[in-house]
Amino acid sequence: METRRMALIAVLGVILYLIYTAWITDHPSVPAATSISAAAAAVPADPTAPPVPSVASTDATGTAPTVAAATPAVSSQTIKVKTDLIDAEFATAGAELRRVELKAFALDKKNPEIKLPLLNDRDGVVFTLQSGLAAVEKPLASGSTVFTTPQTRYEMAAGVDSIDVPFEYVDASGYTLTKTYRFKRGSYQAELIQTISNKTGTALNVSPYARWLRNPVSAEKAQKFIVTFLGMGVYEQKPGTAEYRFKKIKLGALDDKPYESKQTGGWLAMIQHYFIAAIIPPADEALTMSGKPAGGGNYLSQYLGATKLVADAADASYTTGLYIGPKSQGALDDVAKGLALTEDYGILTPIAKPLFWTMNFFHGLVGNWGWSIILLTLLVKALFYPLTAAQYKSMAKMKKFTPRIAELKERYADDREKLSKAMMDLYKKEGFNPLAGCWPVLVQMPVFFSLYWVLVESVELRQAPFMLWLQDLSAADPFYIMPVLYGASMWLQQRMSGQTATMDPMQAKIMNVMPIAFTGMFLFFPAGLVVYWFVSNVIGIAQQMFIAKRIQAADSARHELKKA
């Protein structure tokens, strides 16, 4: 009885947790969104400037490199770039990358022609890439400095493996800055190549930097009952060691404690549901990574390279890797070491990863994620059949003892201690373990929750169609058919098992309400999850009927043997 009570408490706890996470999703603590122009005005052009502490590396004299102070807004031209995978927009002011649409990903399933803008500077979203060269001796170009470029439109031609988009600024003092963005065919990787040509008559100490500027707003609408991470991710070097670790930092946490790490190599990124934008410096470069508030509800995630002396009449070039795209399974570690850690299933990763690999294998066979989920469900149920059989046998025995348990409850209605002792004596006499019906469920829970995160976090299932009315497994069932079917299957399972017959009236009432509660909750769950649970219930009903027939046949055989 205590075991059943604990199981009820656990189930109710899961429901309350999901309701709580849904409330957080609908009522986030998010600063008011600002336009990109307002954000730019609020962000210091100098990565080391107040109001936040300095995070820059220094030269041999201990002086931090600086860039020019912010100047009033200037006229900036938009430069458009098309590759086979993205449509990008730059501003000539600062040669800033302000928008990247991913052609393979629709923003909304209902409007497939509207592509997802991962980087964005409109509709309340601020998520852009800023970059430059900082110097000690004299300020270089700022974010408001207007660069020039030979064309206003660039498009990757057929048969070409890459395309370069160059921006140039010539300063009156004699140096020339060039930023070249190199995009590659068939890849979400890119390179930012920053070059300085020094003809000022004196040497310059120069450091490259690149940074993401964003607010806590995404172009994608949040789903009810689905809470995902949006914030900063870093691959940081453990202090005093050559080892690295992956760390996630919520944007709001930077308000209380700005982040800084001085290290060699590594990377930093802005992470959101399904997608990532990463800055990947050279693996052998000494650098500083930092994260901090930028004003106006925005945040900076910045890389600043080590200072390098550029002699007069000399050139220097700095290359920084970029990745702006999906968190595709099995592809990110080829981009940078540790980047695959952003495919984050939490503490259940050791279980979730094999589940995804298995489902991906089935997808390779059938070509449909819905059928892959069903095949995975069949496999999971087959693997856990011995436990399921033990569970149903336990339920069948409990059902068989129902009249005797009811008799004991009536006899010891006013003495719970004697009732518990009498029931334990009954279990001992009949060789029945009441825990046998609960442990199989508890053992399977890690698998269920792991699969939940696989379905929620895997970009491969984003907007994936199944059949008939289910055209997006990552979204809720538009007609609520699957949740209703799930609730009906759960109700049928309860009636077949006779679970409520041995419970006290209050527990029985709670159990009777459970199918309705779960149906209401699943109205907002991704359809793929509901498909899994419904198919699991259907298989469970079939297994329950099969086991019940075997038990009945065994009882009949024993009865005939006794008669003989």
How confident is the model at residue 202, as a pLDDT? 92
Q: What is the mean pLDDT of residues 188-208?
A: 94
Closest CA to 280 of 318, 249, 239, 310: 318
Q: What is the mean pLDDT of residues 352-378?
A: 91
pLDDT tens digits, 526-537: 888 888 888 888
Q: Helix or strand or coil: residue 236?
A: strand
Q: Name the CA radius of gyration of the chain, rounded.
A: 30
Burial profile 107-131: b = 16 or more Cβ within 10 angstroms, e = fewer: bbeeeeeebbbbbbbeeebbbbbbb
421: number of Cβ within 10 Å: 13
Question: Among 147-151, 201-205, 472-476, whose mean pLDDT is lowest?
Answer: 472-476
308: number of Cβ within 10 Å: 17
In the block, residue with structure tokens 């970029």: 322
How confident is the model at residue 65, as a pLDDT? 58
Three-state SS annotation for 64-126:
CCECCCCCCCCCCCEEEEECCCEEEEEECECCEEEEEEEEEEEEECCEEEEEEEEEECCCCCC
How confident is the model at residue 40, as a pLDDT? 38
Where on the phi/psi map is residue 181: left (φ > 0), alpha (ψ -120 to 50), or beta?
beta
Q: Which CATH fold would you assign to the domain 34-342?
A: Beta-galactosidase; Chain A, domain 5 (2.70.98)
Given a contact cutoff of 8 angstroms between Cβ atoms, the answer to whether 126 and 214 are in contact is yes
514: number of Cβ within 10 Å: 18
Bridge partners (DSSP) listed for residue 280: 321
Q: What residue ranges of the chain are covered by domains with CATH 2.70.98.90? A: 34-342
How confident is the model at residue 438, as a pLDDT? 60
Q: Is omega for the bond preceding 166 within 30 degrees of 0, making it cis?
A: no
Q: Distance between CA 370 and CA 100 in Å, rounded?
A: 30
507: number of Cβ within 10 Å: 17
Is the pTM higher than 0.85? The answer reads no
Share the mean pLDDT of the chain.
79
Q: What is the mean pLDDT of residues 121-128?
A: 91
Does residue 86 surpass a pLDDT of 90?
Answer: yes
Percent with pLDDT over 90 in the chain: 38
How confident is the model at residue 547, as a pLDDT? 76
Q: What is the mean pLDDT of residues 363-387?
A: 88
In the block, residue with structure tokens 């299932």: 461
Q: Distance between CA 54 and CA 293 in Å, rounded?
A: 13
In the block, residue with structure tokens 């995978």: 85
- More reliable by pLDDT, 139 or 244: 244
Helices (H), 367-401: 369-383, 385-400
End-to-end Cα spacing for the chain: 38
- Tell me the pLDDT band of 25, cut-offs 50, 70 and 90: very low
pLDDT tens digits, 384-404: 788 777 767 666 666 666 677
- More reliable by pLDDT, 395 or 98: 98
How confident is the model at residue 226, as a pLDDT? 73
How confident is the model at residue 395, as a pLDDT? 66
pLDDT tens digits, 256-309: 999 999 999 999 999 998 999 999 999 999 999 999 999 889 999 999 998 989
How confident is the model at residue 22, as a pLDDT? 40
- More reliable by pLDDT, 376 or 393: 376
How confident is the model at residue 490, as a pLDDT? 82
Does residue 69 surpass a pLDDT of 70?
Answer: no
DSSP output for 503-541: S-HHHHHHHHHHHHHHHHHHTTS-HHHHHHHHHHHHHHH
Given a contact cutoff of 8 angstroms between Cβ atoms, the answer to whether 142 and 74 are in contact is no
pLDDT tens digits, 330-363: 889 889 999 999 988 878 888 888 889 899 999 9
How confident is the model at residue 141, as a pLDDT? 77
Percent with pLDDT over 70 in the chain: 75
Three-state SS annotation for 413-462:
CCCHHHHHHHHHHHHHHHCCCHHHHCHHHHHHHHHHHHHHHHHHHCHHHC
In terms of Cβ atoms closer than 10 Å to its own Cβ (0-12, 13-18, 19+), residue 332 is buried
